[in-house]
Amino acid sequence: MQCKTNVNTKEIHICCPNESVEDDSKSKVVRSESKNLNRYDRRGLRLLNSVTNCGIRRPPPLTVGAGGRTARPGEYPWVALLKYKINDLRPFLCGGSLITERHIPTAAHCIISQPEVVAVRLGEHDLETEKDCYFFNGKKQICLPMIEEYGVEKIRVHPSYVHGQIGFDLAIIQLDRVIDQIWNINPVCLPIDKQSQELAYDQGFFIVGWGATENATFAPQLQEVLVSRTDLDECRQYYNKDEVNDSHICATGTGIKQTCRGDSGGPLFFEHRFKNMYREIQYGVISFGGSYCGQEQNQPGIFASVIDMLPWITQNLQ
């Protein structure tokens, strides 16, 4: 779903439910305390360091062109769907990603002034099938384990986030129990070491999700697409230039498909060096796209920067 914000007439949230909203005081949403936002929390950093099996992409990746493709079942085991308390056949309006056994970062605008998030789904691929299968080497059929849904214990929203604006668009969902790690449910890595924080100026990233496609319909199967980081001035041309800053990543692709793919809250990631090996690492959270998504060439998207807000993330992995 899409809706315009009060910041710029060309700007929208990638997903924005239009049902009646729940009062935040009745939910498990809290504003985290305004601590020193540049200070790393030792316990949180230790927890991220303990996730040794993160960022393993299965099955082995295929080459992906700029136009994108449908991901293979189980290829991105960290991708999550947020399930809302709404009367709809498709209650999944935003995405997220698994980073520990209990924590899901997503966009703050998917939480504030929206219906209540009642569950998080993991291990999904095709929303229209009960069982997801694929053929390995064109011969052997492999089926994923059944999807898992977890309740929500608490949601912490970045203290500097203001609904309707594009800054600090980040929240962390704490699940009500530890996940069952199976091959299609596994965390993505975060850039917690020096090697993983070294990015090229025009770095390429993947975005994935079940969001709107170029014909304005929502994809039943998980989609992926390749985008490239570009100068923040590119995003300032489309969005409120005073609000686009170093806490954002501006990225675009070739053609019209790139800024439509993926739900808000989903991950921006790519394979990079991590603790002297190569793993998939998340660098951003899908935040804002364009109201002419699928129609206007090369319109960039805005992503909340994980590196910039990593200290706050470590403070809120309780």
For the stretch 7-61, pLDDT in tens is: 443 443 444 444 434 444 456 999 877 668 889 999 999 999 999 899 998 765 5
Q: What is the pLDDT of residue 121?
A: 97
CA gap 94, 110 in Å, rounded: 6
Positions marked catalytic: 109, 169, 264
Q: Is 93 exposed, middle or buried (0-12, 13-18, 19+ CB in 10 A)?
A: buried
Residue 34: how many CA atoms within 13 Å on its side-chain side? 4
Chain-wide mean pLDDT for the chain?
83
Q: What is the pLDDT of residue 1?
A: 41
Does pLDDT of 110 surpass 50? yes
Q: Name 69's bridge partners.
A: 224
Inter-residue contact 161 to 154 (CB < 8 Å): no
Does pLDDT of 142 surpass 80? yes
Q: What is the pLDDT of residue 248?
A: 95
Confidence of residue 153 (pLDDT cuts 50, 70, 90): very high
pTM for the model: 0.86
One-letter amino acid identity for 71?
A
Structure-block tokens of residue 25: 């005081």
Reply yes or no: is the peptide bond before residue 267 cis, omega within 30 of 0.
no
24-28, 39-43, 67-71, 298-302: lowest mean pLDDT where?
A: 24-28
What number is the average pLDDT over the span 176-186? Answer: 89
Q: What is the pLDDT of residue 72?
A: 86
For the stretch 256-282, pLDDT in tens is: 455 454 479 999 999 999 999 999 999
Helix (H) or strand (E) segment spanning residue 311: helix 306-315
